[in-house]
Amino acid sequence: MEWTDTALVLRVGRFRETDLWLRLLSCHRGVFSAFAFGGSRSRRRFCGCLDLLNTVSCRVKSTRNGSYLALQEGVLIRGPRRLRSDWRRLGIAMNCARFLETLGVTREGASAAFALLEDVLELMEGESSPHPLFPLFFRLRLASEQGFAPTLDKCGICGTRITAPGRFIVNEGELRCQNCHTTRGRYIVDIPGRALDVLRIVQQESPALWNADGLSLAERRCCARVIDEFVQYHLGIAWEEGRFRRI
């Protein structure tokens, strides 16, 4: 079987002298692995397109028994420039890409994930400086778009819309209002009103609007805790010692 699609390069590795192994995010097929035989030397079939975070048009073919995919040809559509010379921007972009790769994206969620990561890369190429919480915000947004969206607008028990501070129940993935009392515990986080507003913006708006500059240090830590604990509990992914790990 052979097919063509637009894809983002998430990871590149060498496994023989001239051959490459890649992880890509396809616009219509999700995350997949493929071999590019002769990929490190071929100028006719791959002409400088197999670099991290490049967007490429790729032609892919599976073996007869379906044991692996082989990249037959790749054409560069666009590649980041500014973030390659800015270690901070590159670090943020790669953290987002690694989380997406660890989570995995199926056909059903491929289009939304592809558009989100492209928006992130476009933002990294712009003039604005991404907030340090940006990678965490990306995790919340990607999880939400892949079917793991926490409820951040109303009480999960009585349905009352919450505009003031709320109590987030991590294991339930939803808020409680002040009238629906819940005993404090390991999986409960009280979210100040301004922090709650920022999390809602992350869920609903473009990455260009993700900004926590107006939050205090305590409110920023609250946002980070909510996202980190939610991702660990519901997606089984933790950030430990500089890498993502399945738990």
Domain ranges of the chain: 2-78, 131-246
The stretch 62-87 carries a mean pLDDT of 89
pLDDT of residue 39: 81
Q: Is the dihedral of CA 105, 106, 111, 112 positive or negative?
A: negative
Of 184, 185, 196, 237, the C-alpha closest to 220 is 196
Place of tokens 């996202």: 227
Burial class from Cβ neighbours inside 10 Å (0-12, 13-18, 19+) for residue 207 reads: buried
Which pLDDT belongs to residue 26?
Answer: 97
User: Distance between CA 113 and CA 124 in Å, rounded?
Assistant: 17
Burial degree of 116 (CB within 10 A; 0-12, 13-18, 19+): buried
The reported pLDDT for the residue numbered 41 is: 76
Cβ(155)–Cβ(45) under 8 Å?
no
pLDDT (mean) for 166-172: 92
- Mean pLDDT along residues 26-45: 88
Indicate the DSSP class of residue 206: -
Listed in sequence order, the residues at least 6 apart from 67 whose beta carbon sits closer than 8 Å to its beta carbon are none
Q: What's the CA gap between 15 and 40, in Å, rounded?
A: 11
Whether residue 185 is predicted with pLDDT greater than 70 in this model: the reply is no
| Interval 77-95 mean pLDDT | 93
The second-level CATH assignment, the architecture, of 2-78 is Beta Barrel (2.40)
Average model confidence (pLDDT) for the chain?
Answer: 92
> In this predicted structure, what is the pLDDT of residue 184?
57
Secondary structure of residue 131 in the 3-state scheme = coil
pTM of the model: 0.93
Average pLDDT over residues 58-76: 89
**Rounded CA separation 245/236 (Å):** 8
